[in-house]
Amino acid sequence: MEEIQQASLMVLISGFLVGIMFGFILQRGRFCMNSAFRDVIFIQDYTFVRSYLIALVVAIVGANLMEDAGLFGEIGLRRQSFNVVANIVGGYLFGIGMVLVGGCGSGVIYRIGEGYVSAIVGTLGFACSLVATMHGPLKPLSNFLKSFKISIGSGDEAIGNPALWDIFGGGTSVKWIIIVLIAAIIIPFVMKGKPFAKGPKKGYSWSLTGLLLGFVLIIALWASYYWGGQTRGLSAAGPTSEAFLSLIMGNSMSRFDPTFDFWGITQATWSALYIIGIPIGAYISAKGLKEFKLQAPPASEIMRVFGGSLIMGFGAATAGGCTVGHALTGISSLALASVVSTIFIILGSWTMVYFMFIKPMQE
């Protein structure tokens, strides 16, 4: 009994700590995937994309080294099934939604810690839509889109959750050749941004932000495996749904164990606790920089944010993840589902950026 209580306590402590670290870094670096992808097409600025790519290289190398060392058990990294239609449709819709909201899943959540009322509205809309898609009336539609699956190989050797290297025959050698090629492409592009130049007076430089995000993901992968039941790493979709359900129903309705029991009132998974830690970490950072301020936008913006968050929630639940879940955690394992989802998240984002910002300026 004592061992179970100690393990449960570590679910609470480790989940909160990872969330606090993640939120602190996001706020100090002013980092959001929406800004990273939006700025490329809108103002031709690659700063946050370079930050993301640094995090990605660190995450890919670190996660796969740990997997090969057996630190994630026999199952290894958690790669999602390649539900091609769901990945395309869900990813595209998520990209559209996050531009309407003005932030990705984690970007909206951490801004709660800065005092943005719109972030609270966006998070609530995101959570409601996630629950409706995962457990409610939108579930049949989402399941239909997920029914279109692609496997690599045939018969008993078919791989339903393929990684990028499985296209080329699979195996550890092929995996690391692909990882080296990815790093060889990314690093020169990152270096063009002068990552060692002096950073801003307040907060973290883009390069330090990327480096820290990569390391936090590696920590999250191990902590979520060791105390949370699966190598879930960082995400904002499933964990937000679980946190929301824990608060309103007393049960996260997740198949991932163990959970932390709050005196029999509610139970929360490791990932639900990590989500709650994100705005706390952002608040600590914002207060330290004297940037916390309650800000209420006009009603028109609130309505746009709420509508976009509903689209985001359906897209994330259908695609099996958000920007952080796919573009960082998923691609760190080189899961084919995450690669495809990320591509269509970017395309959805660029589509909405064009209609919201570029086209009106041209007219």
SS3 147: coil
What span, in angstroms and rounded, lies between the C-alpha atoms of 355 and 266?
A: 43
Q: How many domains does the chain have?
A: 1
The pair of structure tokens assigned to 176 is 């690391």
Q: Which residues pair with 267 in a beta bridge?
A: 261
Instruction: Find the helix or strand (DSSP H, E) in which 268 lies.
Output: strand 266-269
Q: How far is CA 131 from CA 32, 252, 318, in A?
A: 23, 10, 11
Q: Are 336 and 156 in contact (CB under 8 A)?
A: no
Q: Which residue type sits at 89? A: V
What span, in angstroms and rounded, lies between the C-alpha atoms of 98 and 38?
A: 10
What span, in angstroms and rounded, lies between the C-alpha atoms of 295 and 118?
A: 8
Burial of 194 (0-12, 13-18, 19+ CB in 10 A): exposed
Q: What is the pTM of this model?
A: 0.94
Question: Crossing angle for the helix pair 2-29 and 270-288, nearest 10 degrees?
Answer: 40
What span, in angstroms and rounded, lies between the C-alpha atoms of 148 and 161?
A: 13
Question: Crossing angle for the helix pair 206-226 and 47-68, nearest 10 degrees?
Answer: 30
Tokens 């045939």 locate to 154
What span, in angstroms and rounded, lies between the C-alpha atoms of 109 and 91?
A: 19
Phi, psi of 149 (to 5 degrees): -110, 150
pLDDT tens by residue, the chain, 363 residues: 344 444 578 888 999 999 999 999 999 999 999 999 999 999 999 999 999 999 999 999 999 999 999 999 888 898 999 999 999 999 999 999 999 999 999 999 999 999 999 999 999 999 999 999 999 999 999 999 999 999 998 777 789 999 999 999 888 999 999 999 999 999 999 999 999 888 888 899 999 999 999 999 999 999 999 888 889 999 999 999 999 999 898 888 776 666 777 877 888 889 999 999 999 999 999 999 999 999 888 999 999 999 999 999 999 999 999 999 999 999 999 999 999 999 999 999 999 999 999 999 887
Please give the residue range of the domain that contains residue 220: 2-362
- Cβ of 261: how many Cβ atoms within 10 Å? 15
Phi, psi of 133 (to 5 degrees): -85, -35
What span, in angstroms and rounded, lies between the C-alpha atoms of 130 and 183?
A: 34
DSSP assignment string, 43-62: T---HHHHHHHHHHHHHHHH
Q: Which residue type sits at 7? A: A
What span, in angstroms and rounded, lies between the C-alpha atoms of 236 and 52?
A: 16
Kindly calculate the radius of gyration of the chain based on its CA atoms and give it in whole angstroms: 20
